[in-house]
Amino acid sequence: MADSLILLLGLAGIFLSVVVVISTVGAITTERQQVGRSLAAVRAIRAVPNPTQQELSKPFAERVVAPGMARLSRIGRRFTPRDQVGRIRHRLELAGNPPTWDVDRVVAFKMLGLLAGGALGLLLPLVLGSGPLPVVGFATLFAVAGYFAPNAGLYQMGYNRREQMRRELPDALDLLTISVEAGLAFDAALSQVARNTTGPLAEEFFRVLQEMQIGLGRSEAMRGLGERTDLAELRAFVTSMVQADAFGIPIAHVLRVQAKEMRIKRTQRAEELAQKVPVKILFPLIFCILPSLFIVILGPAVIKIAGSFGSHL
């Protein structure tokens, strides 16, 4: 009986020990899980970005410049007529649609130029100590100049692009004529010219090919090329191609005639520029070169004569 009691007490002690060990391990594991969840919550709270810090972490151009330009664009749209917007869009087409440039940005720059020019026109006479009338005059003049400065920039970009296309057109037509006479179709010859040349003319040829690939007819794509430029020679080439396509005239013959005319016009233009050189050099010669030459040649004589008269006196 005593042995049985001792055995039962031993088994009970072992069971209690196992229960205590399991409870202790479970408590420690639960505590660690709670601590882990607390740490994860703290890290999550810290990971949530502060709106102010997130805003300040953006670049200055994205944080300040872009909203300011958007606001100026909205203001400028209210005071810009619809026909003026159409002219700006046409100027962008003539300039080749520069990257990141659109009508809204041009309008924003016009308003920025208006404000900056007006402020400069107000400050400059005040610094020089002028009266109220010069202040108003300078402010108006500088504001108008700042407002039309983006238009002048777009015109200059379009002019440079047009002159570059004028220089590239005769060589491009020669290559196009050779390709067509070698047996290539007009589309393949145009692609060959676009791949082997660079510049705005090659870009326009690529655009014509892309428009034809998306389903636009050749005549419509060529007419679009003529509308995107104000170069008379290129428009004449487009008109010839459209008429040849409409009346079934052999394209090789038309291209040969066009290439010959472009070479003749290039020669005439070079002769014209050469004839203008004497007239252009006249004013620098009179106001810059001749006075310096007179000073160098007659200066010592004048000094010697002045010294001789001074010694006699």
Q: Which residue has the higher pLDDT, 308 or 173?
A: 173
Check residue 294 and give its pLDDT. Answer: 82
State the pLDDT confidence band at 160, using cuts at 50, 70 and 90. very high
pLDDT digits (tens, 9 = 90+) for 190-245: 998 888 888 899 999 999 999 888 888 888 988 888 888 888 889 989 998 888 88
| 301 located within any domain | no
249 φ, ψ to 5°? Answer: -75, 140
Domain extent, residue 121, equals: 81-162
Whether residues 145 and 173 fall in one domain: no
Whether residues 154 and 174 fall in one domain: no
Check residue 218 and give its pLDDT. Answer: 85
Distance, C-alpha 11 to centroid of its chain? 89
The pLDDT mean for the chain works out to: 79
pLDDT digits (tens, 9 = 90+) for 73-82: 777 777 777 7
Tokens 């399991």 sit on residue: 22
- Taking residues 41-59, what's their average pLDDT? 54
| 182 located within any domain | yes
| 244 located within any domain | yes
Whether residues 239 and 158 fall in one domain: no
| 65 located within any domain | no
Whether residues 135 and 197 fall in one domain: no
Check residue 53 and give its pLDDT. Answer: 52
Whether residues 202 and 145 fall in one domain: no
Whether residues 150 and 191 fall in one domain: no
Q: How many domains is the chain built from?
A: 2
Tell whether the model's pLDDT for residue 105 goes beyond 80. Answer: yes
| 111 located within any domain | yes
Check residue 44 and give its pLDDT. Answer: 57
| 305 located within any domain | no
Check residue 13 and give its pLDDT. Answer: 57
Distance, C-alpha 200 to centroid of its chain? 14
pLDDT digits (tens, 9 = 90+) for 53-93: 555 555 555 555 667 667 767 777 777 777 788 888 888 88
| 250 located within any domain | yes
Distant-in-sequence, close-in-space partners of 173: CB < 8 Å, separation ≥ 6: 237, 255, 258, 259, 262
Whether residues 172 and 141 fall in one domain: no
State the pLDDT confidence band at 9, using cuts at 50, 70 and 90. low
CATH of the domain at 268: 1.20.81
Whether residues 98 and 136 fall in one domain: yes
Tell whether the model's pLDDT for residue 51 goes beyond 80. Answer: no
Tell whether the model's pLDDT for residue 108 goes beyond 80. Answer: yes
State the pLDDT confidence band at 280, using cuts at 50, 70 and 90. confident
Whether residues 214 and 267 fall in one domain: yes
Buried b (16+ CB within 10 A) or exposed e, 240-255: bbbebbeeeeebbebb
| 174 located within any domain | yes
Q: Of 162, 186, 220, which residue constitutes the final position of a domain?
A: 162
Whether residues 148 and 233 fall in one domain: no
- Taking residues 83-105, what's their average pLDDT? 83
Tokens of 277: 């050189």
Whether residues 158 and 253 fall in one domain: no
Judge whether 116 and 146 are in contact, CB under 8 Å.
yes
How far is Cα 244 from Cα 275, in angstroms, rounded to an integer? 36
Whether residues 154 and 181 fall in one domain: no
